[in-house]
Structure 1
Amino acid sequence: MFASIGRCKGGGVHMSEDVWNELIPEGSHHVFYWFLPLPDYLAIPHATVTSFTYAHNMIDAIERLHSEGRCGEDVQLSVDSLHVSLRFWQERVQEYNPYDLDATFKVAKKAFPYDGNQTGDDTAGSLDRDVTVVEAAVIFEANLEPDEEALSDAFDKVIECIQRVQRAYNVITKEPVKIATRELLPFMVPMAHRLVNQADESWPDGLSAYMVNMGSIFGMRRYEDLDEEQLSALHIAIDREVSAFMAYADLRRQSGVALERLGDYRGAVLAAATAAEVLLDDLLMHLMWEEGMRPEDACGTFANERAGITRRVKVEYAGRIGGLWSLKDPGAISDWANKIASLRNRVIHGGHVPTLGEAREAEKCLNRLEEFIVNLLCSPPLVAKYPRTATALAGKRIEKQGLSTRRIRDLLENPEEPNWVETFARWRAATWRLAEESEQAEPDVNNADLLLVVHPDGADEWVLHDRATHKAARTNEAWSMLPEGQAASVRQVRDDLSRHQYKDAQCVAIIGVAGLRPVEDWVEQHRRIPMLGVMVNRIDHY
């Protein structure tokens, strides 16, 4: 394939006469024109033309003739059989919307002499902006008259050529240009078709509409209002922003947007791969939390960067929840390993650009992975063994399948149970901090707050708390360090807390006291400070 660049004025095919004669030596040829609005402006001089020539694979061409029943015809197969020419139009519009075709049709009308006077209103206002519209011309060989599939393939080549220009533009200007994709285009664009030869000066009879991407009309759909059940679920989800599996759900959404709305197949694969790892790690962490494991004991499972998620999949899950967790035997896990994780590594380490098919397969594999896990958790034995985890990931399904046992209902209504969402979120954060402790900053006593912890049995405990590192440590009794007035106020609050006879320890924050030192090693904050508990059994003070 080769590319060339130049300038052109007026309408019609964009190539120079010499190039045009070379590409169309004799006979008639089909030329299709498309007009594509770009998502971001390119400051390429108006009427600049870039031309590309693609070499077809000879074997593919022969196979196509066989599939069309034309193998007996006397057909001349040329290697250089597809030629793409791009002309860049710069248009000024008001309140530009990439899905609004006004600017695109305005350019299309200017491009062809039969309607060249219909240029619209060029008056510029203070809120106007410049828009780049690409006029693409594709020349087909006459002996391979394009069918719908060939036309679609040619349109994809047009987009590929535009993307090459956009990436090169970014290299030169460093502007973060949004790359054109089918998904970012309007659902239809103007198209024209003509049959030409060397001596032909005729123009297309008019413009037609070419359907680009039906997914682009999602914003035009009429949506049914959420019903009462959905509204209730919405409010619950809003309140559980930090809960287990919410990060997974958001990454799954991000992958879907990249695939279906933006045409960003690389972004879709990376988001799907990240979503899968977050789903697997959140699942394992939630199981460990429900087992009553301390963060200090769980962190080692997540600290080994060399083994990582692959080792955890091999070792940690089957013994807890059963199922097939083999990376080789056919199933959801091997699909994840081969079609998501492996693809992600090629993208990150090799710069691979995934195809649409690869991105869609990754999305399907992600859905199969979630379904595989949910099916395991919704078995009666696992609902009984891990009711909190099953409820967190598959609560609605548990209810619909009648698996909501009395034990689950009792747990949900038990006032002695910790808040599952907040407690697990703190447990997860503590576990990740400990797993990455070598990279964490050291606690700084000069930035630490002084807290008086009042226990239910009346005992006092003085604690230093470094909020930045989430660490805490006991310190010596500090009454003598407080100014007389401040000491009296703190004693009053402390006595009030004792009189209330709270079941859990309470604490008082003391401001402006310096010079204290820890009398023990710094530990995770939940071990010393009330209301920051992480343990499902509420035994945090250890």
Structure 2
Amino acid sequence: MLHEIVNKSQWLLSLKFVAYPPVIAMWPRYSVPRSQRRHWTAETAVVAYFIPLPEPLDVPHLYEVPITEVLDPRDESPSVFLEKRQGVESVFRMKVRFHQSEHTVSSPAVTAVMDALGGKDNVNAPFLDRPRSITVAEVSGPMALADEDGLTMGFDSALEVLRTFQRSHHMVTTRPLSLVVRKSLPPVLPVMISGGEIFAKPEMSLFLVNQDEQHASRVRGPELPWEKLRGLTLAFNDYSPNLFSAFSDMRREGRLAYARGENLSAIILAGAAAEALLVEIMLLMMWEEDLDCTSVAKILDTKDTVTKKVTSQFAGRLGGQWNTRQPGPIRDWRVNLADLRNSAVHAGHFPDDRMIQGAFESLEALERYIGDRLVANMRKYSATTKIFLGDDGLARRGQILKFQEMVRQDNLYPPPAPGQYFRRWKQEVARIRAGRHVGCEENLELILVSYPNGLHRWFVQDSTNGLAAEVPPPVLNENLALTVSKLMSQVPSKPVSALIHGHRVTAGAVLRWQCIGELNPAHPYRRWEVCLIPPPARSAESSES
């Protein structure tokens, strides 16, 4: 099967990528010399991996997804730089094409049973041969290094991309999927490599994946309708890594554990998934309220259980019934999930299938109830409602048109990349909780921020810890000073930052460290836009008057 797919893709590999001309991309926020930028050109060597997935995906045969990422100026991988969308710069890294293959296999277990009965060949047992579906992902992209290490790095990146897509698939369909890992793959897989010359014929090689072959396949479900495919693509591109990845991962693993008969693991994971969902929704609402990160850190640091946090933080914000003793989805969550999980963890109680089914039903009811309460408060929590429910969830409740009209009238549009903003906000809360209040000198980078009113400010930043501090203008070498002076002569329409390479940065005197998002416009993290433009200094004449 793989051999057939590889043969069909040989001529495509020589055409899909060499057709892209060299791209000249503008990089206004970062002072990186053009010669140092890595572009994916027609001469770049291209590799295509053919990776069979553990379970089939519900996507059409030859369905393609381009892999785009928000621009990280420190990533020097070959890329195609895309045009800005709503102020966000993106790059095109790879492409995934899904091949669907049907085949027939015999059940080894049933065959063994028949052998135990005497190996009766004349037994009419059509159930021994069953159709199976296998989805093969063809992941194509440029090689950062044209050697064996580059091949391994590219394969690991391809697996990470596929795992992200599988998570998105689960979020859209709720169908449990095993994340693809090296251990689940055959020991050897074919790869197609183009030497980097235009119209060069690709060559097939064998890539050693692992030493142990483990393969599983299941019947592929009905192909997703186009609206579901659209939702899958949006979930993959807009929220990768997904906002609710902790909840989604534990729910997925819990369902897989139940499918394998591991009920103890299933209830623990289902209970943890519910807690992760509640905590994430609580944080999203606090982010939308623009609640101070220090206050949020104090709330999270309290010793209250999730149950107490739910009753204290949700009822006042969303209204409705949040009493864990009154009949309803909140009580069902406590009894069928929280209490059952605690019994499993602390007392080793092993739930039966009926209990597991009730637990997942209660988890689904909790999701629906949270969605219903958000819709009832969507004017107050428009971004949270949109992120959690999406257009499909709003449409199922008959609220999509009302929501869209409300957003237009009240100008409640979310930020251009809400998932990215929220993750940065959570990182700031985590930094405060961890007590990291001073930047690490080995992580420091020098940045220049230019403002529309003609001002310029110098800062050092520690991106790892999310901190920045203002510093006096540095003494630069002649060439770098000339480049910076040209940069400062351009007045931007909004605050922009430039990362200055080639200058040794030291912390120096005691600095006033702040959240990086409060100083660097390239690191927005708040739900609502904040003005970062400093006021101009008052002149002596205005001071005297």
Structure 1 gap segments, 5+ residues each: 1-96, 119-216
Q: Is the 8 A contact 1:450 1:511 kept in 2?
A: no
Q: Which amino acid aligns with 1:408?
A: V
Match of 2:489 among 482, 488, 495: 495
TM-score after normalising by structure 1: 0.55
Q: Deviations over 1:412-438 (max 9, x none)?
A: 896x9443222222222322332x324
2:467 equivalent in structure 1 = 471
Distance of 2:298 and 2:121 partners within structure 1: 73
Match of 1:224 among 222, 225, 244: 222
1:35 equivalent in structure 2 = none
Q: 1:464 to 1:371 in 2, by over 3 A?
A: same
Q: Deviations over 1:452-501 (max 9, x none)?
A: 222222222221212222222222221x2x222222222222323x2xx2
Distance of 1:421 and 1:256 partners within structure 2: 26
Distance of 1:318 and 1:338 partners within structure 2: 19
2:364 equivalent in structure 1 = 367
> Are 1:454 and 2:443 matched, yes or no?
no
1:485 equivalent in structure 2 = 479
Note the C-alpha offset of 1:276: 0.9
2:250 equivalent in structure 1 = 251
**Higher RCO structure, 1 or 2 (CA under 8 Å, sep 6+):** 2
Note the C-alpha offset of 1:293: 1.8
Distance of 2:442 and 2:419 partners within structure 1: 33
Q: Which amino acid aligns with 2:307?
A: T
Alpha-carbon RMSD across the aligned residues, in angstroms, is: 3.2
> Are 1:393 and 2:388 matched, yes or no?
yes
Q: 1:337 to 1:235 in 2, by over 3 A?
A: same
SS of residue paired to 2:290: coil
1:285 equivalent in structure 2 = 283
Distance of 2:353 and 2:510 partners within structure 1: 60
> Are 1:383 and 2:378 matched, yes or no?
yes
Note the C-alpha offset of 1:369: 0.8
SS of residue paired to 2:351: coil
Q: Deviations over 1:143-184 (max 9, x none)?
A: xxxxxxxxxxxxxxxxxxxxxxxxxxxxxxxxxxxxxxxxxx
2:138 equivalent in structure 1 = none
Note the C-alpha offset of 1:526: 1.0
Distance of 2:119 and 2:386 partners within structure 1: 64
Note the C-alpha offset of 1:224: 3.0
SS of residue paired to 1:220: coil
1:337 equivalent in structure 2 = 334
Distance of 1:444 and 1:540 partners within structure 2: 27
Distance of 1:506 and 1:352 partners within structure 2: 56
Match of 2:274 among 262, 273, 276: 276
Q: Is the 8 A contact 1:476 1:519 kept in 2?
A: no
1:534 equivalent in structure 2 = 525
Distance of 2:415 and 2:328 partners within structure 1: 37
Aligned residue pairs total 333
Q: Deviations over 1:4-38 (max 9, x none)?
A: xxxxxxxxxxxxxxxxxxxxxxxxxxxxxxxxxxx
Q: Deviations over 1:244-266 (max 9, x none)?
A: 4354234322222222x322212
Distance of 1:292 and 1:456 partners within structure 2: 25
Q: Is the 8 A contact 2:293 2:428 kept in 1?
A: yes
Structure 1 residue ranges, 4+ long, deviating more than 6 angstroms after superposition: none
Q: Which amino acid aligns with 2:289?
A: E
State how 1:117-516 maps to structure 2 within 5 Å.
Answer: 219-220=218-219, 223-239=221-237, 240-259=239-258, 261-304=259-302, 306-379=303-376, 382-395=377-390, 396-400=392-396, 401-402=398-399, 403-409=402-408, 417-434=415-432, 436-438=433-435, 443-478=439-474, 480=475, 482-496=476-490, 498=491, 501-516=492-507
Distance of 1:522 and 1:392 partners within structure 2: 32
Structure 2 gap segments, 5+ residues each: 1-102, 123-215, 535-545
> What percent identity do the matched residue pairs reach?
25
Match of 2:515 among 511, 524, 527: 524
Distance of 1:529 and 1:281 partners within structure 2: 28
